[in-house]
Amino acid sequence: MAGKIQQLSEFVVIRSLKRFRETYFPNSGKVDKTPVEDTGEEEPRPGFLDSLPVDLQFLIMTFLSPADICCLGATSRYWRAMVRDPLLWRYFLLRDMPYWPSIDHVTMPQLELLEAPLINEDESLDDREEGEDKGMDLKFDYMSEYLKGCPSCRQQWLPSRPAYEVVTSFLQSLVASSEPRYAMFGTGMEQLDVSLVTRLMHAPDVLPVSGTPHRQINGIGSGISYIFNNQHKFNILTLYSTNRAERERARVEQQSISNKLFTLEGEDDSGYPIYSPAPQVQQVCQVVDGFIYVANAEPGRDGGRSEVSQIRAVLSSAGGSTSRPLLVLSCISREEPEAIRTTKQQNSAHRNTTRCRTPCVDMAKRLGLPQLDNPWMVQDTVAESLSGLLDGISWLLRCSGVKLYGS
């Protein structure tokens, strides 16, 4: 994560949970079978998990999914309070965010919450009477931020497909409709060892090629049409910065090349370059239904402020429309070797290893996406296997009004 974000050790979280338990549930670790004088009935005995040391309780929670932790909180008053500790969810955010395979404009966590210093590491943020300082409660609602952004929780929000929709979809397939069109550009198309565009054109098992439509755009061409889920057609127009020979030479020598898609007009007050898209690019931006930016997510390949400015230039050329979606494919050339991936899976509970790619949340911040008015999504993608691509295309088609269920 970014350097401004304070890391949180397990020791701090355990100390917070211990202090909370000692203050509000001092008898939770004890087994008391003393009869009540009036009725002679036994007081409720604490459950087995309630009696465990806090260290073990925390260890167990680190192996649970977010849904399981929420279910655990529904089992008793004690666990309801424990699983709502803000430091616990801040720890989960810092641990898991770098491993989320996607993030979008709705689920992006508020990174300023993680950049803010802890008010006091010696106490839990829940150590206040209920109703006290509700503004602070909202400011440090790490649990909501985690559940909002966690991919496994997001998947539960997708609508299920009603039975009548099967018949409706069949009838709609008999009616000709215009296919969505997207403009694809970005450094990741040209800098990676494996060409995403070439793999896409030769992967019928992932996205079958439907053909080339008759409509043309001057200086660009018509793009290539694909079929998603054997039903929905869409078109991608690929915008390269220069010709193939220059791109290949720049990739091998790892040098920058003159981008013929944009003209540098100067700098703004913040020091960001100001780009003007070429006339044919502006024409594309005005007719497409959305955009695909292929970013280079391999280590040490940060495109700097030029990436941010070029994305803004393309979106601003879309006729002032802020409804056209932007899909960012955060792309690397190849999957990690099997031995390294297995080791990381074994250590996944404590996230002790470093990923060899830029995390989605960091990519969104790097490209300035939270400041955009357009809907956007960042999706981890591998050029060689095209893993993650279909998830991104599915989101893009949904934003274009295509009805997809359970995909």
Measure the CA–CA gap between 320 and 204, rounded to whole angstroms: 36
Residue 383: is its pLDDT beyond 90?
yes
pLDDT (mean) for 220-240: 86
Computed over every residue of the chain, the mean pLDDT equals 79
Res 326: pLDDT: 97
| E strand or H helix at 331 | strand 326-332
Q: So what's the pLDDT on residue 191?
A: 87
Strands 232-238 and 181-185: parallel
Please give the angle made by the CA atoms of 278, 195 and 370, to the nearest 5 degrees: 60
User: What pLDDT, on the 0 to 100 scale, is given for residue 212?
Assistant: 67
Confidence band of 269 (pLDDT split at 50, 70, 90): confident
pLDDT in tens, 121-164: 444 444 444 444 444 344 568 898 899 899 888 766 554 545 44
Helix (H, G, I), strand (E, B) or coil at 292: strand
Query: Counting beta carbons within 10 angstroms of the beta carbon of residue 255, is it exposed (0 to 12), middle (13 to 18) or buried (19 or more)?
Result: exposed
Other Cβ atoms closer than 10 A to 223? 23
Is residue 325 classed exposed, middle or buried when 0-12, 13-18 and 19+ CB atoms within 10 A define those classes? buried
| Half-sphere exposure for 238 (CA within 13 Å, toward CB) | 19
Q: Is 319 exposed, middle or buried (0-12, 13-18, 19+ CB in 10 A)?
A: exposed
pTM (2 d.p.): 0.81
313-333: pLDDT as tens digits: 999 998 767 889 999 999 999
- Confidence class for position 363, pLDDT limits 50, 70, 90: very high
Six token digits for residue 201:
């054109």
pLDDT of residue 219: 54
